[in-house]
Amino acid sequence: MKKYDLIVIGAGSGLNVSSAAADRGFKVAIVEEGPMGGTCLNRGCIPSKMLIHSADVAETIRNAGNFGINPKGYKVNFRKLVTRVNKIVDSDSRGIEQGIREDKNTTLYKTRARFIGERTLQVGKETIYGDKVVIAAGTRPLIPNIEGLERIDFLTSTEALRLAKLPKSITFLGGGYISAELAHYFGSLGAKITIIQKRDVLIPNEDEEISAAFTKIFRKKYNVLTGFNAVKVSGKNKKIVATVRGRNGGKKNIASEKLIVAAGRIPNTDILGVSRAGIGIDGNGFIKTNGYMETSAKNVWALGDIVGRYLFKHSANLESQYVYRNAFYPKKKRRIDYTAMPHAIFSSPQIAGVGMTEQELRAKKIDYAVGKYSYMNTGMGAAIDEKEGFVKVLADRRTRKILGCHIIGADASTLIHEVIVAMKAGLTADAITDAVHIHPALSEVVDRAFGSIEY
């Protein structure tokens, strides 16, 4: 049995810990059966956003007539845009692997890991032991129990991002952020889109006004069926037919060329067999960690999606910093600080949020005030013809502390950042309104939303 100072399971954000330890001279093992870089690089953030940019460009061209420009027409070379992205992603992944293999202090096991005891793993035909173990093995798509699904060649986001031919029609099962982004990607490039969502709105975890506005906008573009569940899937005439049932009992059959299952994610703890190492999990299978990212097993830490707190790359990177510090500097260990953890959905329109939603504030019975401002009521908002976008802010009525900010519209993922900085610094809403904003930059919509708060 080979022994290591540190074993890291998963080659995504876990690499932040392994590389820092290896740089200090520790003997490190990395176990990863897939390509290096994790979900974000290979089948998540990076390829999806690069592909979505092509959709954004196509949408800009299609809407050019609103600005007095009449494009003569354009063609989508779908294979070319997908090939370009895959080449970049695969090259980056290979580069990471090469760097790992060249590191004298690091050993890569490109295989599946399974715990067989305390900090002891079976990797292929070998057994390895780590003085310290970091689990960053992520999640995988949840496949719902739907009659006939196992007999259909369905897709998840993993396969969808690698399609070399644009489908004529696609049905999505699920109405969360994955469907929102991929529907925009395929729909803007020419596919006919249907979204089946059991909840009353799309992206239901967002602020209620954002979810409602987004659902309304998407209904104008695509066939959106809310309040429906898929009960059966079958194949007919080279099409996939999804039978869906509404809350009132009514049924519909939706036929499409492709079916994408986007019903959520589940952690890979079952594959790892974490119970054999004394690592506790919650009712959904996510690893339980304390404020120091420690698991219930001694000298075992966990981070990223497999922990289930925030399923974002930026939160996993934050967690990796704390895990490294707490594992290798135990006398100086610190509790993780998730203050002002933001997120964004790169659909069209974009969504961004930080802090609490209005429904969360109501549930907690916090006395809050609301400010809201439309893009179109600013100079740049009118210039770009952003008719439906708005910024919504929530502040403590007494202290003026910023409790949340939610944006739907162009560049939402960028506009949110001044609010993130203010919240992280513990500043009040006055910090935004007291700052001079460039006129007529789009950021004025954030300034005016804060200025509209009625305390």
Q: Of 314, 406, 417, 439, which is the active-site residue?
A: 439
CA angle 452, 445, 357 (to 5 degrees): 65
3-state secondary structure 231-248: EEEEEECCEEEEEEEECC
Whole-angstrom CA distances from 113 to 105, 140, 273, 327, 415 are 20, 15, 9, 21, 41
**Pairing of the two strands 28-31 and 106-109:** parallel
Told to judge if 406 belongs to the known catalytic residues of this protein, a careful annotator would answer: no
Q: In Å, how far from its chain's centre is CA 180?
A: 11
**Pairing of the two strands 258-261 and 169-173:** parallel
Are 132 and 9 in contact, with CB atoms under 8 Å apart?
no
Q: Where are the beta strands (DSSP E) in 272-401?
A: 300-302, 342-345, 351-355, 368-374, 390-396
CA angle 264, 308, 322 (to 5 degrees): 145
What would the two tokens of residue 144 be? 């719902």
Contacts of 22 by beta carbon, 8 Å cutoff, 6+ apart: 28, 103, 105, 106
**Pairing of the two strands 228-236 and 402-408:** unpaired
Q: Which residues are catalytic?
A: 439
